[in-house]
Structure 1
Amino acid sequence: MKGGPKRSTIVIQKNLHVDLRVIPQDQFGAALQYFTGSKAHNIHLRQRAIKQGCKLNEYGLFARDGGEIIARKREEDIYGGPWPRLYPSRTQGKQR
């Protein structure tokens, strides 16, 4: 087992590791989106956020100018950001 005050990794079996994170309740939606989406999907969303003048990470969706919080409490608020609505079922980076 390794980790710190906000994250830990536990080895369940030889090749099975479980990562644990402590997330503030008001950032849960952003963390849920970030840690359950594929790498490709997260990159796609971050690129869309940048095009809209925003910043997206595991802590939330923020306005670039001043860092005002746009969304982070609920995952659906992240997907309802400043772009056409995306749904979590499309989190594997597959675009039409």
Structure 2
Amino acid sequence: MANSKSAVKRIRINKRNRLQNRFYKSSVKTLSKMFLKRLDEYKISQNPNDKFKAQILLSTLYSLIDKACKKNVFPKNQAARKKSQLALKLKNT
């Protein structure tokens, strides 16, 4: 158990940051899976509406990745790499 006020505060801050990091990482994973599912639907149906939905998901995903990068959940290069890979998948469909 923590012996000082500063140690107790650090425990609270670490818990808060861990939950925030987990939220961003899991949200990025979930949205990425949804985006890839939309791309697969578009490959099968060739319906422009599916591609439009994928583009909307991609912009939402970009926003979430940027926010996570701003809060130091992802390093700058890792965030750029994630966004680049997702854009490339959209471009190649």
Tell me if TM exceeds 0.5.
no
Choose between structure 1 and 2: higher strand proportion.
1
Q: TM-score, normalised by structure 1?
A: 0.23
Greater helix proportion: 2
- TM-score where L is the length of structure 2: 0.23
Bigger CA radius of gyration: 2
